Amino acid sequence: MESAAARTRPVLTAGSVLPEDADRAALVARVHDPASDGPCVAAVRGDQVVDLTAVAPTVCDLMERDDAAAVVREAHGGHVWRLDELLAAPTGRRDVPHLLAPVDLQVIKAAGVTFARSLLERVIEERTGGDPAQAARVRARVGQLVGGTLDGIRPGSPEADKAKELLVSEGLWSQYLEVGIGPDPEVFTKAPVLSAVGTGADVGVLGASVWNNPEPEAVLVVDSRGRVRGATLGNDVNLRDIEGRSALLLSRAKDNNASCAIGPFIRLFDEGFDLDTVRGLDIDLRIDGADGYVLHGSSSMREISRDVLDLVAAVHGPHHQYPDGFVLFTGTLFAPTEDRQAPGAGFTHEYGDVVRISSPRLGALVNTVVPSEQAAPWTFGVRALMLNLARRGVL
């Protein structure tokens, strides 16, 4: 019998995933090429995707070049694919060209609890021990006691210290509040190098989870020198029940097969798109269930509690280097609370959900939810990439 995920797989076109100003954008893609049996670094030029692997064998190499945007716009390329054909490719098939996550050797990092409004949901997860049935009751109590105490607070400031004192006196201090308004952000490794999936692919939720949601986020692309070179979109899939049982289960909750989606493309910084543009992004979310269920949400980068460069500095600096660069999920304002399966239980995914994360300047990342155990196995790692590129003579 055909799975729910297969029945609801979205029909993607160039027009549905490209940024609204794609004609002015320097867009980087990665394509699985059956002829090479491996990935190609590519430039998106209109409705065409041009192979640039001979110029930059990895996206990591491209990010190290000061002229990366010019290369993407102007360099002579090899094979050319039609974007619509890549988007129409069946999920998980290695015998047809298709889009991959647009990052390769970069370490995949994520910052958590970066929005004051959503950090209270992390407190609720902790207070309920990951039990969604208790969420409504705890949410009401936390809201009554905290109210707007955290609105506009700068983490690590004297105002944040006063808020901490209030919360401690009410018995509500939490490890999540510590990283939300304390001096140091939460930053963790989201997924192994090369394990992220791209737009059109299935995204995985661990089969044991009964309370989970997508996390729509802006993702920074940073080179080995700590320079932010561009941005893309990401889904930092969140298993609320597992992390809520203990923050020490973060890896179990965050790092599973196909649990990290990035894409559709990296948009490089240039004269029309820069870090200030990222600081002002609105990120929209739409979930379409196989049963007709629809959920809309949004996250505004203008409401982030820590500046994005402060998050980058928490990852890279004298204390830690990344010779292949890294990508950084910057956190989300989105924490769905409306009931879906039962009164008071809040939102959780059902298999077959189509998740669309979009922003006008970055395009749309679209994935279908399946159990992580049933997602396409991750088999192409760093060793396979090096062997493949060497065999192709591009290293």
> Is the pLDDT score of 1 beyond 60?
no
Give the C-alpha separation, 214 to 283, whole Å. Answer: 13
Q: What is the DSSP letter of 29?
A: E
| Residue 323 burial (10 A CB sphere; 0-12, 13-18, 19+) | exposed
In tens, the pLDDT along 347-359 reads 899 999 999 999 9
Within 196-300, strands assigned E span 202-205, 212-213, 216-222, 228-236, 238-239, 260-268, 282-288, 294-300
> Is the pLDDT score of 143 beyond 70?
no
Give the other-Cβ count within 10 Å of 361's Cβ. 18
State the pLDDT confidence band at 125, using cuts at 50, 70 and 90: low
Give the C-alpha separation, 116 to 103, whole Å. Answer: 29
Give the C-alpha separation, 63 to 22, whole Å. Answer: 20
Which residues, in sequence order, are bridge partners of residue 343? none
- The predicted structure's pLDDT at residue 91: 78
Give the C-alpha separation, 357 to 324, whole Å. Answer: 27
- Among the listed residues 44, 52, 38, the one whose alpha carbon sits nearest the alpha carbon of residue 86: 44
State the pLDDT confidence band at 5, using cuts at 50, 70 and 90: very low
Residue 72: helix, strand or coil by DSSP?
Answer: helix
Q: Mean per-residue pLDDT for 69-97? A: 94
Side chain identity at 250, as an amino acid letter?
L
Looking up tokens 């716009």 gives 73
- Phi and psi at residue 195, in whole multiples of 5°? -90, -10
| Residue 236 burial (10 A CB sphere; 0-12, 13-18, 19+) | buried
Looking up tokens 């064998």 gives 57
State the pLDDT confidence band at 4, using cuts at 50, 70 and 90: very low
- The predicted structure's pLDDT at residue 119: 67
State the pLDDT confidence band at 6, using cuts at 50, 70 and 90: very low
Give the C-alpha separation, 163 to 172, whole Å. Answer: 11
Tell me which H or E stretch contains 4: helix 4-7
State the pLDDT confidence band at 343, using cuts at 50, 70 and 90: confident
- Phi and psi at residue 69, in whole multiples of 5°? -65, -40
State the pLDDT confidence band at 149, using cuts at 50, 70 and 90: low
Give the C-alpha separation, 322 to 224, whole Å. Answer: 5
User: Which one is predicted more confidently, 259 or 291?
Assistant: 259
Instruction: Please say whether the beta carbons of 197 and 203 come within 8 A.
Output: yes
Q: What is the pTM of this model?
A: 0.91
What is the chain's mean pLDDT, rounded?
A: 90
Give the C-alpha separation, 233 to 299, whole Å. Answer: 12
Non-local CB neighbours of 27 within 8 Å, separated by 6+ positions? 18, 19, 43, 44, 72, 265, 266, 267, 268
Cα Rg of the chain (Å, integer): 21
> Is the pLDDT score of 92 beyond 80?
no
Give the C-alpha separation, 47 to 14, whole Å. Answer: 7
State the pLDDT confidence band at 3, using cuts at 50, 70 and 90: very low
Give the other-Cβ count within 10 Å of 252's Cβ. 16
> Is the pLDDT score of 373 beyond 90?
yes
In tens, the pLDDT along 169-218 reads 777 777 777 788 888 899 999 999 999 999 999 999 999 999 899 999 99
